[in-house]
Chains A and B, each alone.
Chain A
């Protein structure tokens, strides 16, 4: 059975906010205003069968320094709440959500299961300033599996199970342009994508496969990672990829069987396994046994010992899983379990401005907001 260090529970604050709608994805908006912070929820109302995108404001948690004078009493922060700011109805459910800042204004890219892509440019008050969309059947045949916006927000990569890789740009700000980078004609399906640099990105798919793409070298992926590494007995799917801005040579991936592994481009076919039950060696360290739906580097954990981390060591990462686990895994360390829910945790995001805070969506129609000490 998995072993985990449990965090000092008295200091971890967890708030669950029921939504009465299924949450397909949740993200924090990158901070653009000093006063408020916002979260974007992709929702699906089963009663009316209507999907929507909602932007909610949520109060910032009080920084620990402000609580010093009342250190003996409980911190008197108000419990977080979500306050609806704006809502946009969509024609299909959201399959993937990516956010970035473009000219200091937040940009949201939402792909749908029917294959359309919606790009929203927000104003400073988090209202929708303009909306662009690419209709279904233009980018992909069927659903778009994943979209990822560049940090600067100039281009968006989209991948699908149809085997296509597309780039959507909105250079002049008035309309979207798109071009096909690759079409594997369904021979390979892509389920995840993440930018590494303005010209490079990684994709992931079936059989724990990863691909590295360089726009300067067209005609297919420049490098491929074979998922069927030696000790594996069973295969799986990559659901999520993350790439750290300071470690562009390493691709972090999460997928089936509680698997989180890192692919270092400099050591091509030797993955560094952080978690997973498919391989014998790390099985005892695996915080979960089921699908890892999302994985992200955890900026909160790295601050503690960033100085003495060599560049080959994988930075701590957070994952959420089908078996209801939200945990932080670190190379050679016991995982730290933050949440163990009776239902799946389908997506999460870490507040980049305030990395103590994590927002996640639960299968049972609710949002959980965590505040780490």
Chain B
């Protein structure tokens, strides 16, 4: 669609230029050709619904036994290779509870701050909650499988084998460092150092990195006799030092040949220099609260303490650099290699630049050895720009985009082009849309949508209306969400749709149930007319059992049933009439008469049932023992009969399926009864 890319400047999410590549998606519709028509519409998410219609032979109709058409789904796009669909859903499921907890904590923190009238909107505990949330999510992003740790510590294994981390986790790590971990803002540079140590491997795919150099060297290490003679040894060691992987550096240094017992005596000075550098490295001052066990460096929490130690450390390096022992060291590679390392530690920018591969590595080395106090996004951004200039990137990595984005943008700023919503809401809406696009995750979307003040509820309504109503279990899952968020009107609309759907598909009972649940009197009245037609045709004494269940469902007349309460009364009447047939007692007959009168009085009794009702009651009207109907009752029935005779003249009158003399025999019975009743009174 060229039109779309042209004005992508207005789009919230800019379209990537890769969209120009055309992809062919084969359709498997399995229909016999010829295909006459295709219809394409959007389905869930990025799936298309393609309806394929066959051209049917004109004469034979659909008699060739083949389907006339088929609907197939086509999933567009390719999945993220890193995280498969199932894994992605697992992350989505797992993040619901932490999010719900954070939201409820947020609400209580806000309520607290309102009460105390404090100027700061957030409680001091708030950032702890945010970090807890961030850690919970981060743990979900771990790769499920982890490699078993080797018990034997091989001195020649400088690089521990780890499961390749995901970009997703790396990205979350960055967000945590910059936005969530407010406690550690003072130690931001060291956090980025740690971050790169974990994720440098991710950049190895597109270009050389310190990590990839180490991997290469690790392969060669077993074949090397005198390791210090190999220029790669010094290169790798300096690179690792530049990015602050001190443990690896010291481990590599201890592989130096001068440490071997048989060499120690004649390489004493050389070994002393190697060890001096190793000690200096392991004593490197670091501006951070703590280091994990086994990691090298000395921690300083406050800036003054750190500066003092930093100056002292650099003085020691300078002193070593000027030492006279270098002249006594006759192994050239060792001498040059070690002095190179000292230059890195002293922050010589040329050395830093040559010993690093990627601009982010150069960037990290600046934090470690040149500007350990870099604070503020602005200066960090400027430094990043400088590093990119020194080490231009051939192909951009998506994590790089994120880093530059974080450093370069001021997220606090309000933006006008977001349609009046905050960036927080925008991200939640986008995430909720992604969740909504999958049949298994849409149920999670409401929790995010309801946390979006401006547009959330509107989108939630749309989402709920889009859910299929055919299956009761699905329908109930949808209405349960309505119940949770007090969306009664949506719930009843959905149930109305379901009711009509089931009604139309012949499931009358289920249709009536859903319309009752929706309290839709209008539709219940409408379908009542159709139901009466059906009753008129099918209701005989034998088939009444079929109706029993539906009538039970309709419940007592106090419940909402539209005109359907007629059926209830009709059933009672039929029942008492049956009693009369069996027992023939006057009491039962009297009861049947009461039912008849109540039916005839009830305005919801359809006119077309009047005559059949009276015809069914002939026996009651001409009861042997005594007249069962009094004068008033008989008059009522006669009036109804009169009304019926008038109605018969109208063209839309539906004639009941009764013997032709039905009307006259009813009239005669009523007249007889009237006579007897008058006499009795």
In the docked arrangement, what's the CA distance between A99 and B155, Å?
Answer: 58
Residues of B within 8 A of A163 (CB): 507, 509
The answer to whether A228 and B556 touch across the interface, beta carbons within 8 angstroms, is yes
The answer to whether B509 and A237 touch across the interface, beta carbons within 8 angstroms, is no
Residues of A within 8 A of B14 (CB): none
The answer to whether B93 and A364 touch across the interface, beta carbons within 8 angstroms, is yes
User: How would residues 42 to 73 of chain A score, 1 for a CB under 8 Å from any chain B CB and 0 otherwise?
Assistant: 00001101000000000000000000000000
Q: Counting CB contacts under 8 A, is A187 at the interface?
A: yes
The answer to whether B439 and A224 touch across the interface, beta carbons within 8 angstroms, is no
Looking at the assembled complex, report how far the CB atom of A308 sits from the nearest CB atom of chain B, in whole angstroms: 37
B492-526 at interface with A (beta carbon < 8 Å): 502, 505-510, 513, 516-517
Given known contacts A235-B516, A237-B472, A322 and B480 CB-to-CB distance under 8 angstroms = yes
Looking at the assembled complex, report how far the CB atom of B361 sits from the nearest CB atom of chain A, in whole angstroms: 37
Q: Counting CB contacts under 8 A, is B102 at the interface?
A: no
The answer to whether B506 and A186 touch across the interface, beta carbons within 8 angstroms, is yes
The answer to whether A187 and B547 touch across the interface, beta carbons within 8 angstroms, is yes
A206-255 at interface with B (beta carbon < 8 Å): 206-207, 209, 211, 219-221, 224, 226-228, 234-235, 237
Residues of B within 8 A of A186 (CB): 506-510
Q: Counting CB contacts under 8 A, is B476 at the interface?
A: yes
The answer to whether B90 and A226 touch across the interface, beta carbons within 8 angstroms, is no
CB-nearest residue of chain B to A191: B472
In the docked arrangement, what's the CA distance between A234 and B510, Å?
Answer: 16
In the docked arrangement, what's the CA distance between A188 and B89, Å?
Answer: 39
CB-nearest residue of chain A to B559: A228
Q: Counting CB contacts under 8 A, is A278 at the interface?
A: no
In the docked arrangement, what's the CA distance between A290 and B508, Å?
Answer: 25
Residues of B within 8 A of A351 (CB): none
Residues of B within 8 A of A20 (CB): 86-87, 89-90
The answer to whether B546 and A113 touch across the interface, beta carbons within 8 angstroms, is no
Given known contacts A184-B549, A189-B510, A365 and B89 CB-to-CB distance under 8 angstroms = yes
Looking at the assembled complex, report how far the CB atom of A282 sits from the nearest CB atom of chain B, in whole angstroms: 19
The answer to whether B559 and A185 touch across the interface, beta carbons within 8 angstroms, is no
Q: Counting CB contacts under 8 A, is A315 at the interface?
A: no
CB-nearest residue of chain A to B85: A47
Residues of B within 8 A of A205 (CB): 509, 549
In the docked arrangement, what's the CA distance between A290 and B473, Å?
Answer: 12
Residues of A within 8 A of B443 (CB): 343, 363
User: How would residues 84 to 106 of chain B score, 1 for a CB under 8 Å from any chain A CB and 0 otherwise?
Assistant: 01110110010011001000000
Q: Which residue of A113, A142, A224 contacts B552 across the interface (Cβ within 8 Å)?
A: A224
The answer to whether A188 and B555 touch across the interface, beta carbons within 8 angstroms, is no
Residues of B within 8 A of A148 (CB): none
The answer to whether B506 and A256 touch across the interface, beta carbons within 8 angstroms, is no
Residues of A within 8 A of B559 (CB): 228
Question: Top 10 closest A-B pairs, CB basis?
Answer: A188-B549, A20-B86, A364-B93, A220-B545, A206-B513, A187-B550, A207-B553, A189-B510, A228-B555, A186-B506
Given known contacts A184-B546, A322-B476, A113 and B471 CB-to-CB distance under 8 angstroms = yes
Q: Counting CB contacts under 8 A, is B533 at the interface?
A: no
Given known contacts A20-B86, A209-B552, A365-B90, A291 and B508 CB-to-CB distance under 8 angstroms = no
User: How would residues 191 to 213 of chain A score, 1 for a CB under 8 Å from any chain B CB and 0 otherwise?
Assistant: 10000000000000111010100
In the docked arrangement, what's the CA distance between A141 and B443, Å?
Answer: 29
Residues of B within 8 A of A332 (CB): none
Given known contacts A342-B100, A365-B90, A206 and B509 CB-to-CB distance under 8 angstroms = yes
CB-nearest residue of chain A to B86: A20
Residues of A within 8 A of B471 (CB): 113, 143
CB-nearest residue of chain B to A145: B472
User: How would residues 540 to 552 of chain B score, 1 for a CB under 8 Å from any chain A CB and 0 otherwise?
Assistant: 0000011111101
Residues of B within 8 A of A330 (CB): none
Residues of A within 8 A of B472 (CB): 161, 191, 237
User: 14 A–B contact pairs at CB < 8 A?
Assistant: A20-B90, A143-B471, A161-B472, A163-B507, A185-B546, A188-B548, A206-B510, A206-B513, A207-B552, A207-B553, A224-B549, A237-B472, A342-B100, A365-B89
A105-127 at interface with B (beta carbon < 8 Å): 113
User: How would residues 185 to 216 of chain B score, 1 for a CB under 8 Å from any chain A CB and 0 otherwise?
Assistant: 00000000000000000000000000000000
Q: Counting CB contacts under 8 A, is B626 at the interface?
A: no
Residues of B within 8 A of A113 (CB): 471
A161-189 at interface with B (beta carbon < 8 Å): 161-163, 183-189
Residues of B within 8 A of A293 (CB): 473
Looking at the assembled complex, report how far the CB atom of A279 sits from the nearest CB atom of chain B, in whole angstroms: 15
Looking at the assembled complex, report how far the CB atom of A169 sits from the nearest CB atom of chain B, in whole angstroms: 25
Q: Counting CB contacts under 8 A, is A344 at the interface?
A: yes
Q: Counting CB contacts under 8 A, is A323 at the interface?
A: yes
Residues of B within 8 A of A323 (CB): 480
Looking at the assembled complex, report how far the CB atom of A97 sits from the nearest CB atom of chain B, in whole angstroms: 14
In the docked arrangement, what's the CA distance between A226 and B472, Å?
Answer: 21
The answer to whether A46 and B549 touch across the interface, beta carbons within 8 angstroms, is no
Q: Which residue of A141, A185, A237, A322 contacts B477 across the interface (Cβ within 8 Å)?
A: A322
Looking at the assembled complex, report how far the CB atom of B45 sits from the nearest CB atom of chain A, in whole angstroms: 11
Q: How many A-B residue pairs have CB under 8 A?
A: 120
CB-nearest residue of chain A to B100: A342
Q: Counting CB contacts under 8 A, is B147 at the interface?
A: no
The answer to whether A342 and B96 touch across the interface, beta carbons within 8 angstroms, is yes
CB-nearest residue of chain B to A93: B471
In the docked arrangement, what's the CA distance between A339 and B90, Å?
Answer: 19
Q: Counting CB contacts under 8 A, is A18 at the interface?
A: yes
Q: Counting CB contacts under 8 A, is A38 at the interface?
A: no
Q: Counting CB contacts under 8 A, is B12 at the interface?
A: no
B647-665 at interface with A (beta carbon < 8 Å): none
Looking at the assembled complex, report how far the CB atom of B83 sits from the nearest CB atom of chain A, in whole angstroms: 12
Residues of A within 8 A of B483 (CB): 290
Looking at the assembled complex, report how far the CB atom of A227 sits from the nearest CB atom of chain B, in whole angstroms: 7
Looking at the assembled complex, report how far the CB atom of B411 sits from the nearest CB atom of chain A, in whole angstroms: 30
Looking at the assembled complex, report how far the CB atom of A263 sits from the nearest CB atom of chain B, in whole angstroms: 13
**Residue among A113, A143, A162, A207 with max Cβ neighbours from chain B (10 Å):** A207
CB-nearest residue of chain A to B505: A142
In the docked arrangement, what's the CA distance between A211 and B90, Å?
Answer: 41
Q: Counting CB contacts under 8 A, is B440 at the interface?
A: yes
Looking at the assembled complex, report how far the CB atom of A117 sits from the nearest CB atom of chain B, in whole angstroms: 18
Q: Counting CB contacts under 8 A, is A28 at the interface?
A: no
Residues of B within 8 A of A209 (CB): 549, 552-553
Residues of A within 8 A of B87 (CB): 20
Q: Counting CB contacts under 8 A, is A22 at the interface?
A: yes
The answer to whether B553 and A206 touch across the interface, beta carbons within 8 angstroms, is yes
Q: Counting CB contacts under 8 A, is B438 at the interface?
A: yes
Given known contacts A224-B552, A228-B555, A189 and B89 CB-to-CB distance under 8 angstroms = no
Q: Which residue of B89, B545, B553, B556 contacts A219 across the interface (Cβ within 8 Å)?
A: B545
Residues of B within 8 A of A344 (CB): 477
CB-nearest residue of chain A to B73: A49
B103-161 at interface with A (beta carbon < 8 Å): none
Looking at the assembled complex, report how far the CB atom of B62 sits from the nearest CB atom of chain A, in whole angstroms: 16
In the docked arrangement, what's the CA distance between A185 and B471, Å?
Answer: 19
Looking at the assembled complex, report how far the CB atom of A122 sits from the nearest CB atom of chain B, in whole angstroms: 27
Looking at the assembled complex, report how far the CB atom of A129 sits from the nearest CB atom of chain B, in whole angstroms: 31
B468-489 at interface with A (beta carbon < 8 Å): 471-473, 476-477, 480, 483
In the docked arrangement, what's the CA distance between A206 and B509, Å?
Answer: 8
A257-302 at interface with B (beta carbon < 8 Å): 290-291, 293
The answer to whether B477 and A226 touch across the interface, beta carbons within 8 angstroms, is no
The answer to whether A161 and B549 touch across the interface, beta carbons within 8 angstroms, is no
CB-nearest residue of chain B to A185: B546
Residues of A within 8 A of B73 (CB): 49
In the docked arrangement, what's the CA distance between A224 and B548, Å?
Answer: 9
The answer to whether A187 and B508 touch across the interface, beta carbons within 8 angstroms, is yes
Looking at the assembled complex, report how far the CB atom of A13 sits from the nearest CB atom of chain B, in whole angstroms: 20
Given known contacts A220-B548, A226-B552, A187 and B509 CB-to-CB distance under 8 angstroms = yes
Residues of B within 8 A of A142 (CB): 505, 507
Residues of B within 8 A of A220 (CB): 545-546, 548
